[in-house]
Amino acid sequence: AQKVTQAQTEISVVEKEDVTLDCVYETRDTTYYLFWYKQPPSGELVFLIRRNSFDEQNEISGRYSWNFQKSTSSFNFTITASQVVDSAVYFCALSEWGGATNKLIFGTGTLLAVQP
């Protein structure tokens, strides 16, 4: 069965600190997708990134970076020089590759609070 674990329930940092959000997944599939979404207090879910299981290259987008390690089944997300606007719940998710459903399995989320 597929499962996503986000062990960190809440993280509090001070502005300009770097912070890493952990994500560990379980799947029997050899091909799959991994995602990160941001849910600010407004409630809307904002797509951040999708990675496929063949591509283990780290990705950087501005202050955001992602570290995908198949060997440890982890897909961690780092925010560099955090800002108050980064305060949100962050969800990691997993889906099958090329399946009929494209169903997303979400982790329980990590609430990030960035203090000014």
Partner 1 sequence: SAVISQKPSRDICQRGTSLTIQCQVDSQVTMMFWYRQQPGQSLTLIATANQGSEATYESGFVIDKFPISRPNLTFSTLTVSNMSPEDSSIYLCSVLDYEQYFGPGTRLTVT
Question: Are 35 and 93 in contact, with CB atoms under 8 Å apart?
Answer: yes
Q: Is 31 a binder of partner 1 (CB under 8 A)?
A: no
Number of residues that bind partner 1 (CB under 8 A): 19
Largest Cα separation within the chain, whole Å, is 45
Residue from 77, 91, 94, 114 binding partner 1 (CB under 8 A): 91
Q: Is 36 a binder of partner 1 (CB under 8 A)?
A: no
Residue from 31, 72, 102, 115 binding partner 1 (CB under 8 A): 102
* SS3 assignment, position 86: helix
Taking alpha carbons only, the member of 70, 115, 112, 69 closest to residue 91 is 112
Question: Are 47 and 35 in contact, with CB atoms under 8 Å apart?
Answer: yes
Q: Is 82 a binder of partner 1 (CB under 8 A)?
A: no
List of residues contacting partner 1 (CB under 8 A): 35, 37, 42-47, 50, 91, 95, 101-104, 106-109
